[in-house]
Structure 1
Amino acid sequence: MKMVGCNKTFVTEFIFLGFSNQPRVQLVLFVVFLACYLFTVFGNVTIISVVSTYPRLHTPMYFFLINLSFLDIYYVSTNVPQMLMNLVTRRKTILFWGCAIQMYFSLAFGMTECFLLGVMAYDRYVAICQPLLYTAIMNWKLCAQLAAFCWCSSLMSSMIINIFTLQLPFCGPNILNHYFCEVPAVLSLASTDTYLAEMVVFVFSIIIVFIPFLFIIVSYTYIFLAVLRIQTAQGRVKAFSTCASHLTVVTIFYGTAIFMYMRPRSKSSRDGDKVIALFYTIIMPMLNPLIYSLRNKDVKDALKRPLVLIR
């Protein structure tokens, strides 16, 4: 820290507490998180390659799945390398500007996933409830506009939240009870009242987290009612199977995100926040390729084709 007038100090770096200060535990965590990171990148690159290669998968649903895979790669690459470095170094620090950049992109990518999951729910709604109009409604122009909206609105929203957060004075302490720079953790170190910044975070949480979540619930309510009207059991199973992967991701991702950003803050919750954050920063990006490949017949068939050609 350096001195800046009025006998106050200005934080130039943050120190991460991480998960443990025991070398053996840190080594185990390093191996586990490195494996998760490599698996996430490999799994999502595989999804992107498979969907891009096979014309049968060139549909709106898989277009948004490619967006989700790119997003997951960016997301883990924003947070996990810093965490891995902290697990093998003595000084677990990050410069203030580095923290600001990490906080901006991690929040932006998290918001983008909220929007993408909402758009994917709308795609499933049109496919099941308006099947005859599907190709007319979900045309490529609309798909591109929806994807651009997800990315651009999230980048802008994250900028607003970060401006409100980073304009606060940080005069110490600079020990961050987390493993990466996240808005709630950084706000807890501000040297002034954070009510306005917390309200901004809460309002954007309602807009970007809760409203898309309600939209997903409404979409699946209509989907459920439409599926019940299908006469054959085989038809109902097929319709539900197209939604199972998306529902699984929505349940895990939104459950942890809402719990993290839309509840009252307390000092006792900060240790638990680190564990909760693992779900949407590491576990979900790793599970997405598995969920969408193992529970999706088209993707499984596409993955099997190279194996058949090799034999």
Structure 2
Amino acid sequence: MPETNRPIPPQPEQQQPPPGLTRLMKPAPDHGEESYKGSGRLKGKVALITGADSGIGRAVAIAFAREGADVLISYLSEDEDAVETARWVEEAGSRALAVAGDITSESHCIALVERTVREFGGIDILVNNAAFQRTYAAIGDITEEEWDETFRTNIYAPFFLAKAAVPHMKPGASIINTTSIQSRQPSSHLLAYASTKGAVSNFTAGLAEMLAEKGIRVNAVAPGPIWTPLIPSTMPPDKTQDFGKKTLIGRAGQPAELAGAYVLLASAEGSYMTGAIIPVTGGEIMI
């Protein structure tokens, strides 16, 4: 049954240019600014989070900070949102550094890791969260350039970042990827995006096995429909209105509702988990 304190479809029809801004969304997403209470589970840790300016990334940054971690906020160009995320991290008593740039470039990914290590003294947690998607009714409408950008953002970048981060990671470190319900239940209008998320799931499993002897854990969170700026900036207005309605919960999830899964995978409580995918899907079954 839907929770009464969460927005239930229909939502206002809306659309904005990509990559989208949080303040333009109606209703506003919940990142856990008022609700998430930390308990020091990541005290002294350093995290690099991609796509941390808004949506799931912001919720994870806030949660990690309230658990004691310093956070490098990687984002594309949404300066306004990144500044807001940094403010919440610093209000939690943690250090924040926001760095803009395109993670489809391997050189930028290497620079992000090097900046994290230089500014914070190391890297304990890598969260590969940033994603690119577009909706299309026909395969003929998807250009080579768009297919390439989707793969470079969603699966090349996690590879680039993991490759750069692992030499700096110690036993007990954690890599957390964001896959999707789309990896198991692909929607035809999200063909490129769904294909990359299938790749992310396999990348997670294979990398977990590769890094096990180093004591580095690799896991993933698989969201269902989540209310973030990615939705109104990449979907037609009529699809935003009923977004999430078909889940068993009857609504889209809020970014704050995923933060706990990332904290678990980053913390000592998740030390027996590697190669795992945690579904947070509103009841959609990961088969």
Higher strand share: 2
Greater radius of gyration (CA):
1
Higher-helix-fraction structure? 1
Question: TM-score by structure 1 length?
Answer: 0.28
Kindly indicate whether structure 1 or structure 2 has the higher relative contact order, using CA contacts under 8 Å at least 6 residues apart: 1
* TM-score, L = length of structure 2: 0.30
